[in-house]
A and B are shown apart, each in its own frame.
Chain A
Amino acid sequence: MTAAHRPTAPDDDVLTVEDLWVTFKGGRRRPWSARTLVPAVSGASLFLAQGRTLGLVGESGSGKTTLGRAVLRLITPDRGAITAAGFQLDRFRGGAPLEYRRAVQAVFQDPLGSLDPLMEVRQILDEPLRIHFDLDSRQRQARVRELLEMVGLSAAHLTRYPYELSGGQRQRVAIAKALAVDPRLIVLDEPVSALDVSVQSQIVNLLDDIRRDRGISYLFIAHDLALVRHACHDVAVMYRGRIMESGPADRVCGAPRHPYTRLLFDAVPEPVPRAMRPPRPARRFDAPLPDVGTGPTPAGCPFFHRCPLRTQACATAFPAPTAVPGGGQIACFAADRALAGGPSSTVSALSR
């Protein structure tokens, strides 16, 4: 995202990602040949202002989790600059310093797997306090109780083990653990995907309350688009390692412009029965995709093989972002055609 398109000044940003590249090394075909490279994140850029929530959505293989892990410094990127909570990550040698671990925290998807199964809740919450602060035992106990209250649990939960709690309760413990060090930024990697729908809302509401109270910013990684629209101020949509579209959540979710985003939103089933929906023109799009003379290359747009607006340029290069009226950007060579569509688009030959 370029500076021209940002509603807030750079100094207010708690997270800036510039041109991030992460590749994983796969196996070797022969013992002497080089390892195959698997690109996970390709040239992603985004920013998050203090006190706001940025949603990062994509399907499997989009690279959103990898990006989150790079911000958490659980993996090291190949290129690109990440600045989070005032720290420049490329200055880190090896692991992250302790101060960084205070400023940037995480909540993971699987609440059972992400907590040490042999520790009681109070030990789980006590540990970050021991690592980061110089408090005596009584002060730590008080703080642990405070944290429990903050996430809606009671003192009775102190002596429970993770496997004795429900999914929602475990996730509350994980959130309390993240809050223990009073961070500025929390990376949430699919925090509610493993929970029942009725519990998801509880957790999302809790996160929002906490954010308002404490001014924490969230990087909210998810695949549920409707949820992200509710939970986030801004959204970035990823596909196969690239950021395809970004902008205010209401704009991106309400009026998606990039062909991939539109495909995505079109595919999400709304909980409204067909009989109750407003009439929409039938969208049986079996129209063949345009033949532009070349096949896709690794340097080109990853959506090439499914995109109805593709051009020859799309095969060989990835476009720079174009601004979208209403907020945000899309990365599309056919931006003019994409933007010409309008909000409730009936652009023909949109793929299924």
Chain B
Amino acid sequence: MSETISGTAQSPAGRGRRPGSGRLVGRVLRQRALVAWGAIVGVIVLAVTFAALLSPYDPNTGTLADSFAPPSWEHWLGADRNGRDVLTRLLYGGQVALLAAVEAVGIAMAVGVPAGLVIGYVGGWLDRILMRLVDGVMSVPFLVLAIAVIAAVGRGLPNAMAVVGLVYAMSVLRLVRGEVLAAREELYVDGLRVSGAGARRILFRHILANIAPPIIVQATLMFATAIIAEATLSYLGLGVTQPTASWGSMLAEAQATIRQNFFLAVPPGMAIFITVLGINQIGEGMRDLFSREITVGRLGLNVVRRAEPERAVSEPVPSALPERPVALEVRNLSVSFPQHGHGRVEVVRGVDLRLHRGELLCLVGESGSGKSVTAMSMLGLVAHPGLVTASSIRLADQEISGLDFAAMRAIRGNRIGVVFQDPLGSLNPTFTVGNQVCEAIREHRDVSRRQARALAIDLFDRVGIPNPAQRFHDYPFQFSGGMAQRVMIAMALSCDPEVLVADEPTTALDVTVQKQILRLLSDLRDERGLAILLITHDLGVVAEVADTVATMYAGQLVEYGPVAEVFAQPRHPYTQGLLDSVPRNEASNGPLASIRGVVPAPVDWPIGCHFADRCDFVEEPCRHSPVPLTGLGESGRAARCVRAGELRLHGISRDRLDTHAGVPSAAGSGTTP
């Protein structure tokens, strides 16, 4: 059973709760542990409820002659100091425990849930005052508070558990309030308000349903805690009164005679333990059920394996820039993940890439294309349980597929630098940027702190960060998105790598900032002969900076070539469709072109061409068998299309180049929505 993260705030969007009762029951049954523990607890509850039927003895009286009797046929678990049957007392003690827990949790829910809902949704001064009160009460340790109040209201178990219930109500209130506050900020609540839903409808029909799962889980876990609370209070003498049996009081009695007879402590102790354990497991199981399963991976342990030679391998495509040395060459890269019910599913299949020094190659694709996974997998950064295979990955002359973690460490950051999409999330918020960049330098270079600092400040200057010496000491949150991305670029370049991989580096930035970052990257390419692999979904970015472009669709590379050529005359219908769909700054002329249909999910990839269902030029042979990537003779162009040779696609047509004319252009033959 995969492990989920406890304590994570679950967003409602991640919950697949109640997807039809049939599906839910299926999931429950799959959690075998949950079912098993449910059965165990069920048995305990039944046994305890029918104590009178199951046992002929009176729990409160016994014959002194049986004092300390060992387990026997008459007394299955023996007898205590007063000759009372232990098993009977255990069963009746269970009744006490369960009833006490029901009382406490019942009060807690009845008070805490409505109060939390109202306070969380309404807020305002009511919220402020009540939360101060709650904070005050909760600042007293639970047991101390319980004892103090019991001292005032008098002893006796019902009183004691009522006190426990009220204290629990405080934490329920806090939990519910917190969930409501979070839910209130969700976009779907805005949508409901706009629809005209009133506060009551939003709160009770929508928010409550969405936050019910964590509340239910909490109630279950609280039930277990209440059992322990009752046992503790009874152990201390503040719960049940003599001679009533309670698991806690039984333990207290056992303690008095621990030296003579230790065994007496075992039944009540184990009873508490198993019951609490069972209820905890049920609660945890429910939590797993309600939330998205996060399979936990091992840290960066994902190396690239050599592919089996039997796999069909395309012929290598001739180089687009033969005069330049090859910086990075990838052959037959595939990535797969296990998916429930489908075994291992490939998300990237048979990708070949070649990157030269001083070349900026754009890897273009939409969602589901696998472009990010491709780039990350080369560096061994795809998390477990992903499986990465390749026939070969060569960095200049070195084969890097098959290297283990330690060997890859020398490559990462040193010969290949990486820039990620979200600069503010990708920098560690608890260290200064200077610290992080120096760390990168000193990982691979033998320099002193002072030298590293000088280098870092130099780099900051080169990437266009004003006041570099001062900014060195700033934290990531003090930077804007564009500046933070410059920091990332500086960090990626700190050891003068041969290759830079940039995964959607400008997607999260404003367009004016994007332009500056793109210019920076192209300048760096020119200055240092850097080979850049830039992943993007934006064709404008491709047109702006790329030397060569590779299009990916549904896990495969479908087109490759110099950017001007590919844009002028693409060889794959998908590339053409993309070019047509991008709105351009020109006078509108009828509906926008689009590509009909949707991208197939990896489990639904057809045998033949993945694009077949959406293609305007599809024919029978396209669907027949896997389509290889074929070279198209000239200058390193390649396309994965059966009809690549015969199709004449118009690309970005000439008349559309005049962006200011406002002249209606001849609409292309693009696909209709």
Asked whether A253 and B585 contact (CB < 8 A) given A117-B210, A269-B518, the answer is yes
Taking a contact as CB atoms under 8 Å apart, the answer to whether A116 and B192 are in contact is yes
Pairwise interchain contact A59-B191, C-beta atoms closer than 8 A:
no
Q: Tally of A-B residue pairs with Cβ under 8 A?
A: 211
Q: Which residues does chain A contribute within 8 Å of B187, judged by CB atoms?
A: 108, 110, 113-114
Query: Is A72 interfacial (CB-CB < 8 Å)?
Result: yes
Q: How far apart are the CA atoms of A181 and B659 in the complex, in Å?
A: 40
Interface residues of A in 70-121 (CB under 8 A from B): 72, 74, 95, 98, 101-102, 104-106, 108, 110, 112-118
B19 on the A face (CB < 8 A): yes
Q: Which of A166, A197, A202 contacts B673 (CB 8 A)?
A: A202
A contacts with B: majority SS: helix
Would you give the shortest CB distance from A84 to chain B, in whole angstroms?
A: 13
Give the distance to chain B from A347, nearest Cβ to Cβ, in Å.
Answer: 15
- A168 interface hit (Cβ, 8 Å): yes
B592 near A108 with CB under 8 A, answer no
Q: Is the CB of B12 within 8 A of A208?
A: no
Q: How many whole Å from B142's CB to the nearest CB in chain A? A: 30
A59→B581 contact, CB < 8 A: no
Q: How large is the interface on A (under 10, 10 to 19, 20 to 34, 35 or more residues)?
A: 35 or more
User: Which of A104, A197, A198, A273 lies in contact with B543, CB distance below 8 A?
Assistant: A273
Q: Say yes or no: A167 contacts B367, CB within 8 Å.
A: yes
**In the complex, residue of chain B having the shortest beta-carbon distance to the beta carbon of A98:** B196
- Residue B17 interfacial (CB < 8 Å): yes
Contact B196–A102 (Cβ < 8 Å): yes
Contacts A118-B18, A131-B196, A269-B538; A113 near B598 (Cβ below 8 A)? no
Interface membership of B528, Cβ < 8 A: no
Tell me the chain B residues, 488-547 only, with Cβ under 8 Å from chain A. 510-512, 514-516, 518, 537-544, 546
A177 to B595, CA, bound (A): 25
Return the contact of B660 from the options A98, A272, A343 (Cβ within 8 A).
A343
Chain B minimum-CB-distance residue to A183: B194
Closest Cβ–Cβ distance, residue B411 to chain A (whole Å): 32
A8 to B191, CA, bound (A): 31
**Closest residue to B587 on the A side, CB-wise?**
A250
B367 A196 Cβ-Cβ under 8 A: yes
Tell whether, in the assembled complex, residue A276 and residue B210 are in contact, meaning their CB atoms are under 8 Å apart. no
A266 CA / B659 CA spacing, docked (Å): 12
Whole-angstrom CA separation of A225 from B367 in the bound complex: 22
CB distance from A91 to the nearest CB of B (A): 18
Contact A271 B188 (CB under 8 A): no
Instruction: Choose from B543, B581, B658, B660 the contact partner of A255 (Cβ within 8 Å).
Output: B660
Q: Does B366 contact A (CB under 8 A)?
A: yes
Which chain A residues numbered 212 to 270 have a C-beta less than 8 Å away from chain B? 223-227, 229-231, 249-250, 253-255, 263-270
Are A263 and B673 in contact, with the CB atoms below 8 A? no
Least CB distance from A257 to B in Å reads 14
Q: Which residues on B sit within 8 Å (CB–CB) of A208?
A: 591
Q: What is the minimal beta-carbon distance from B566 to any residue of chain A, in angstroms?
A: 9
Choose among B209, B537, B543, B652 the residue that contacts A118 (Cβ–Cβ < 8 A). B209
How far in angstroms is the closest Cβ of chain B from A215?
Answer: 19
Cα(A236)–Cα(B217), bound, Å: 50
**Cα distance, A272 to B585, chains bound together (Å):** 11
Rounded to whole angstroms, the CA-CA distance of A253 and B584 in the bound complex is: 10
Does the CB pair B567–A267 fall under 8 Å? no
B541 contact set on A, CB distance < 8 A: 269
B376 lies within 8 A of chain A by Cβ? no
A344 pairs with B660, CB closer than 8 A = yes
Chain B residues lying within 8 Å of A226, measured Cβ to Cβ, are 582-586
In the assembled complex, B578 has its CB within 8 A of some CB on chain A: yes
Taking A59-B511, A271-B567, A278-B657 as known contacts, 13 extra A-B pairs with beta carbons closer than 8 A to each other, sorted by chain A number, are A108-B187, A116-B12, A163-B16, A197-B582, A198-B577, A199-B594, A200-B592, A226-B582, A226-B584, A227-B583, A250-B588, A276-B657, A277-B657
**8 A-B pairs in the complex with CB atoms less than 8 angstroms apart:** A74-B193, A105-B195, A116-B206, A118-B12, A128-B195, A177-B195, A201-B592, A272-B543
